[in-house]
């Protein structure tokens, strides 16, 4: 990499431009392909062309006409939002304690969350399947929300405690000296400073829950609580004898939209969140 | 505001107790109590959903327990372990998992390093590059897997056409190659981000000094950047290795585990959900847990302080 201290010549810029283009194409190719498939009509679906010859919205209107997909979308959104909310609240409490308070057992908690971050999720599938069946949690929203919270918590605790360490907490004391009540000091001074970190964590946790496939396919059995990634893998097309490719592609694009929006609007935060907890050592 | 009230009442309760062996000030004790209270919900959920089931799965693994014949449940000792460990399917799955893990992590490390350098040093369009690399990270794995599946399926796919129309996903080795490609595409950006954070810690002055002393670009990379980035690289490697061990989504969609492409996760799932054999499924769960624990232990022993979490208390 010859960029150090040199003049920013046009040649260099062009070279970087080409490298960047390679990266962008690498990242977007599979996404564009599934988008292309979702817009192809039934007749041209199998032509193998990268750009549809014949654009249509049929695939989208078809999937939104099936309860299978609409129900799964509602499940996905509800489960991911609830799990995110709970994980962020509990994670914030724990991370605040880790970053600010001194108490025995703190390093144990950090150690446990690290272990859970590395925990092989598939090891939990068999026992959870049996436990949830006997508790009546199998194939329900809480049955998925609980494992999601569990595996989101280490992520939330790490990211948030890294953020909380950076907050200038003296400001809280200063506000109290100026006559603010503890409540006011928290609302006016600390909350605004902590909000970006909490928000970033919420995005990361949501992406994690939105993405899960293993728990969703093992701990559900009906439309009642199946999430979209699972429903996708069971798609048989809007009528029984139809090739599901178009429907799958359209559904896949629909669940990719929130991810694309997050990435577009919060790129900087996501990068900061992903790297903050990880590289301190 | 409930936090402040619990803090106060906690201190009040403690204050009534006899003060003989008290070394801690009241404020200190209140702080401890608040700390425990704040951590309790997180700790409780994490342990309830992981520790208890894993203990339970050890118990299940010692039973003959097939949900198709629930009446015939009985204690069979280590029979399930013997069955699994003498099964050629299990060992094939172990090899598939190990090969996929090693190959994909090595490729990811090299590509991820290149990507990190590009993102770190590029003179133009940094925002665009970072935004687009986050898409593979964020996209639902199943979605990406379907995209690859259709791309490689003769008839619908552009990649299959390019390769001469052979059905790649129906033969073991090419199918595994496609699964590895899908894994690498999906997770290289995450690797790159972790490495980029490590790159940011390399002081520019040091690189300039090395350049002045006549070090070439490659020498600066191997002699200055790499040693300084060791902790970041190890963290990234550890997480990716353990993660690759759990390859499931891509395999499920791309091959469904046919043609001997099952990973251990896939095999466990098939025994449990398709075979409804809880005993065997739990045995595999326990074996995977042990394998992951050993890998994590080796990494942490080897690299000691480089592991995340060992840094706590550094700047409180």
The per-residue pLDDT for range B134-171, each reduced to its tens digit, is 889 889 999 999 888 888 887 777 777 676 666 677 77
DSSP state of B168: G
A227 in the same domain as A152:
yes
Give residue for tokens 């549809």: A52
B71 in the same domain as B193:
no
A89 in the same domain as A6:
no
A86 in the same domain as A122:
yes
B267 in the same domain as B285:
no
CB contact under 8 A, A124 and B50: yes
Shortest distance between the Cα of A78 and any Cα of chain B, in A, equals 17
B154 in the same domain as B182:
yes
Is B62 touching A (CB cutoff 8 A)?
no
**Within a domain: residue B8?**
no
B80 in the same domain as B190:
no
Residues A175-195: tens digit of each pLDDT: 888 888 877 877 888 888 888
Q: What is the three-class DSSP state of B207?
A: helix
Domain that residue A10 falls in: 1-56
Is B140 touching A (CB cutoff 8 A)?
yes
Number of domains composing chain B = 2
**Within a domain: residue A165?**
yes
Question: Residue A255's closest chain B neighbor by CA?
Answer: B140
DSSP state of A122: H
CB contact under 8 A, B249 and A31: no
Which of A27, A56, A85 is where one domain is finished?
A56
Is B198 touching A (CB cutoff 8 A)?
yes
B80 in the same domain as B101:
no
* CB atoms closer than 10 angstroms to residue B275: 15
- Per the document, the length of chain A is 281
Residues B225-266: tens digit of each pLDDT: 888 888 788 878 887 888 767 788 888 888 887 777 888 888
What mean pLDDT comes out for the span B71-77?
77
Count Cβ–Cβ pairs < 8 Å, chain A vs chain B. 347
User: Is the model's pLDDT at B316 over the cut of 70?
Assistant: no
B177 in the same domain as B286:
no
B186 in the same domain as B201:
yes
Tell me the backbone φ, ψ of residue B246, rounded to 5 degrees.
-100, 15
Q: Provide the ipTM.
A: 0.86
Q: What is the three-class DSSP state of B166?
A: coil
A67 in the same domain as A34:
no
Angle subtended at Cα B105 by Cα A256 and Cα A91, rounded to the nearest 5 degrees: 55
Distance in angstroms (rounded) separating the CA atoms of residues B132 and A126: 37
A43 in the same domain as A104:
no
CB contact at 8 A, A81 and A206: yes
A74 in the same domain as A39:
no
* CB atoms closer than 10 angstroms to residue B255: 22
- Per the document, the length of chain B is 316
B249 in the same domain as B299:
no
Number of domains composing chain A = 2
Which of A34, A56, A78 is where one domain is finished?
A56
Give every residue of chain A whose pLDDT is below 50, as ranges: 1-5, 279-281
Question: Residue A44's closest chain B neighbor by CA?
Answer: B156
B242 in the same domain as B230:
yes
A242 in the same domain as A209:
yes
CB contact at 8 A, A118 and B260: no
Is B196 touching A (CB cutoff 8 A)?
yes
Residues contacting B65, CB < 8 A, separation 6+: B73, B277, B278, B279, B282
B98 in the same domain as B68:
no
Domain that residue B172 falls in: 90-275
DSSP-H helix ranges across B63-203: 79-85, 88-121, 126-138, 141-152, 158-162, 172-199
Q: How confident is the model at residue B22 (pLDDT cuts 50, 70, 90)?
A: low
**Within a domain: residue A281?**
no
Q: The CATH number of the domain where A239 resides is what?
A: 1.10.3720.10
Q: What is the three-class DSSP state of B256?
A: coil
Is B164 touching A (CB cutoff 8 A)?
no
Angle subtended at Cα A221 by Cα A219 and Cα A224, rounded to the nearest 5 degrees: 100
B168 in the same domain as B65:
no
B103 in the same domain as B67:
no
């Amino acid at each position: 990499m010859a960029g150090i201290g040199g003049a920013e010549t046009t040649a260099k810029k062009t070279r970087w431009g080409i490298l960047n283009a390679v990266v962008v194409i690498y990242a977007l190719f599979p996404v564009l392909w599934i988008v292309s498939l979702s817009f192809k009509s039934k007749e041209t679906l199998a032509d193998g062309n990268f750009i549809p010859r014949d654009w249509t919205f049929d695939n989208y209107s078809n999937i939104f006409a099936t309860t299978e997909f609409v129900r799964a979308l509602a499940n996905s959104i509800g489960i991911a939002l609830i799990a995110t909310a709970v994980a962020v609240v509990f994670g914030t409490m724990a991370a605040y304690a880790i970053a600010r308070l001194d108490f025995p057992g703190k390093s144990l908690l950090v150690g446990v969350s690290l272990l859970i971050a590395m925990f092989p999720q598939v090891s939990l599938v068999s026992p959870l399947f049996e436990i949830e069946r006997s508790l009546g949690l199998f194939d329900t929203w809480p049955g998925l929300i609980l494992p999601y919270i569990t595996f989101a918590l280490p992520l939330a605790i790490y990211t948030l405690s890294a953020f909380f360490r950076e907050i200038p907490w003296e400001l809280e004391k200063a506000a109290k000296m100026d006559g603010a009540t503890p409540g006011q000091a928290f609302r006016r001074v600390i909350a605004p400073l902590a909000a970006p970190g909490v928000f970033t964590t919420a995005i990361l946790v949501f992406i994690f829950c939105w993405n899960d496939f293993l728990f969703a396919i093992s701990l559900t059995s009906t439309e009642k609580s199946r999430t979209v990634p699972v429903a996708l893998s069971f798609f048989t097309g809007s009528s029984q004898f139809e090739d599901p490719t178009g429907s799958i592609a359209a559904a896949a694009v629909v669940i990719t939209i929130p991810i694309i929006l997050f990435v577009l609007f919060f790129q900087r935060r996501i990068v900061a969140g992903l790297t903050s907890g990880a590289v301190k050592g | 505001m409930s936090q402040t009230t619990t803090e106060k009442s906690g201190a009040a309760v403690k204050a009534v107790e006899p003060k003989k062996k008290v070394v801690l000030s009241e404020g200190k004790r209140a702080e401890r109590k608040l700390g425990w209270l704040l951590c309790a919900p997180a700790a409780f959920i994490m342990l309830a959903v992981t520790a208890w089931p894993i203990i339970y799965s050890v118990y299940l693994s010692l039973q003959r327990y097939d949900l198709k014949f629930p009446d015939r449940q009985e204690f069979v000792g280590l029979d399930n372990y013997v069955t699994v460990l003498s099964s050629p399917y299990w060992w094939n799955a172990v090899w598939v998992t190990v090969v996929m893990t090693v190959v994909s992590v090595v490729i990811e490390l090299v590509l991820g390093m290149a990507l990190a350098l590009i993102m770190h040093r590029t003179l133009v369009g940094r925002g665009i590059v970072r935004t687009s690399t986050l898409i593979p990270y964020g996209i639902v794995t199943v979605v990406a897997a379907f995209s690859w599946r259709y791309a490689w399926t003769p008839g619908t796919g552009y990649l299959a056409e390019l390769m001469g129309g052979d059905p790649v996903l129906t033969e073991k080795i090419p199918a595994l190659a496609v699964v590895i490609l899908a894994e690498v595409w999906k997770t290289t950006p995450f690797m790159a981000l972790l490495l980029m954070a490590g790159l940011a810690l390399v002081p520019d002055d040091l690189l300039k000094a090395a350049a002045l002393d006549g070090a070439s670009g490659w020498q600066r990379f191997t002699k200055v950047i790499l040693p300084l980035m060791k902790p970041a690289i190890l963290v990234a490697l550890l997480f990716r290795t353990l993660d690759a061990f759990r390859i499931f989504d891509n395999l499920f969609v791309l091959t469904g585990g046919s043609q001997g492409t099952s990973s251990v996760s896939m095999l466990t799932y098939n025994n449990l959900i398709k075979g409804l054999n809880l005993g065997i499924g739990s045995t595999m769960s326990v074996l995977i847990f042990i394998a992951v624990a050993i890998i994590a232990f080796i990494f942490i022993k080897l690299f000691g302080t480089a592991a995340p979490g060992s840094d706590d208390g550094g700047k409180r």
